[in-house]
Amino acid sequence: MSRPPLDLSLYLVTDTRLCGTLGVPATVSAAVAAGVTVVQLRDPAADDAELVTLGRAVARELAGTGVPLVVNDAVHLVEAIGAQGAHVGQGDTDPGEARARLGHAAYLGLSVQTTDHIEAARGADVDYLGVGPVFAQTTKPDGAEPGGLERLGRIVGLSPVPCVAIGGIGLEQAAQVRATDAAGIAVVSAICGQPDVAVATRALRAAWDDAGAPV
């Protein structure tokens, strides 16, 4: 694997509806300036042309920041958008097929919910696992049942690659997640649609960083 390791500390998954009038590009810009380390472009309601337009606008905001952009599921649009990789779920593109299409320079993430999913991921050249939902969440109505911190810890302990936790994570949960040795927290509504994106992001990043500070 020739790709530099990702800093998964604070991983933002975009939500076009939640971002509202501020919009996704402006939300991403403010969040990255305040401490987001990876951005995933996600908009299941957009068609390919709309996703490319939105993705290119986000990529422009990220230019020069060093923060990578990954595209949810739409592996075939990564190059057109100018993103640095993709993220696939259990029901999306097979990770082996995704890697073959992306090549070895791009990042690839995979969503998992159970320890069985880890076994399936071992043969795939993925950079990280997205584990969740950990807690109850409302952003993704068709999401799996929350697995809790115990399952997260088991998956983190068995995974051959770093894990980022997602699902119902806010300020109060950041320290609990870090105690499992997860590499980071992924959030949607904790940033998208907040009254002040920068303030919300700084608070989340501080909660994560403080949880890992020496006592």
In this predicted structure, what is the pLDDT of residue 36? 98
Cα separation, 53 vs 134, whole angstroms: 32
pLDDT category at 75 given cuts 50, 70, 90 is very high
Q: What is the 3-state secondary structure (H, E, C) of 66-116?
A: CCCEEEECCHHHHHHHCCCEEEECCCCCCHHHHHHHHCCCCEEEEEECCHH
Bond before 133 cis per omega within 30 degrees: yes
Burial of 176 from C-beta contacts in 10 A (0-12 / 13-18 / 19+): middle
Collapse the DSSP code of 128 into the 3-class scheme (helix H, G, I; strand E, B; otherwise coil) and give the result.
Answer: strand
pLDDT in tens, 19-55: 999 999 999 999 999 999 999 999 999 999 999 999 9
pTM of the prediction? 0.95
Both tokens of 187, joined, read 């959030």
pLDDT at 182 over 70: yes
Cα separation, 157 vs 175, whole angstroms: 17
